[in-house]
Each structure stands twice: as structure tokens, then as C-alpha cells.
């Protein structure tokens, strides 16, 4: 069976276009998964270069490179739906392997 990809986008409550989460549901029989994509805030080139240099040399920041995202209560049903689809697909995949 060919894998079918489905995307869901969630916009932060602050309405910033930079605060958008993308979840892609892949129902591939061999490895069903949900992939998440988060935009990391833009910085000037020299700060990105400095962060990259520290990363290459193994510097670990205790906070990492994160941004925040605030879910709206209206997004809960869509998020639950995509998680249920992953769980259902995983069960079907495991049943076929037996």
C-alpha cells in the first residue's frame, strides 16, 4: 500500500506567522508516524553562525534551541484526531505483522 501523507497546521494564539506548527501524519504500513515541524525564530547571520560553530564543537546549551507555541482550545479536537489516527494505524500495522 502506498503511504498517504496528511498535514495539519496549528497557529499560535499570538497569531504570529512564525509560530506555526505543522504535523504530518504518514500511514506507511511499515512505519506509521507523525512528524512535527517547528519554525525556529530568525536571528541575524552572525548569531546563527556563532550558534552553528558552538554546535559543531559540541557545546550543549541546557535550554536548547526552542521557541514556544500556545495551543488554542479549539485545536484540541484536531490534535486528538490525528493522534487517534496514528494509534489506529499502528494497531493495524502490528496486526498485519503477526
**Model pLDDT, residue 97:** 76
39, 70 in Cβ contact below 8 A? no
**Model pLDDT, residue 41:** 67
**Model pLDDT, residue 3:** 66
Q: How far apart are CA 69 and CA 84, in angstroms?
A: 22
**Model pLDDT, residue 29:** 74
> Which of 97, 60, 88, 70 has its CA nearest to residue 11?
70
User: What is residue 40's DSSP assignment?
Assistant: P
Domain count, the chain: 1
Read off the pLDDT band of 66 (50, 70, 90). Answer: low
Find the mean pLDDT for residues 61-79.
69
Domain range for 41 is 5-97
Share of the chain above pLDDT 70, in %: 83
- Model confidence over 12-60: pLDDT tens digits? 888 877 778 888 888 777 777 778 787 766 778 888 788 788 878 887 7
Report pTM.
0.51
Amino acid at each position: 500500500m502506498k503511504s498517504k501523507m496528511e498535514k495539519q497546521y496549528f497557529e499560535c494564539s499570538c497569531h504570529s506567522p512564525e509560530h506555526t506548527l505543522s504535523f504530518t501524519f504518514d500511514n506507511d504500513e511499515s512505519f506509521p508516524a507523525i512528524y512535527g515541524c517547528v519554525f525556529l525564530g530568525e536571528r541575524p547571520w552572525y548569531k546563527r553562525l556563532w550558534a552553528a560553530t558552538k554546535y559543531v564543537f559540541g557545546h550543549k546549551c541546557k535550554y536548547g534551541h526552542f521557541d514556544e507555541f500556545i495551543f488554542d482550545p479549539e485545536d484540541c479536537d484536531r490534535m486528538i484526531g490525528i493522534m487517534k489516527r496514528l494509534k489506529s494505524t499502528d494497531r493495524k500495522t502490528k496486526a498485519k505483522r503477526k
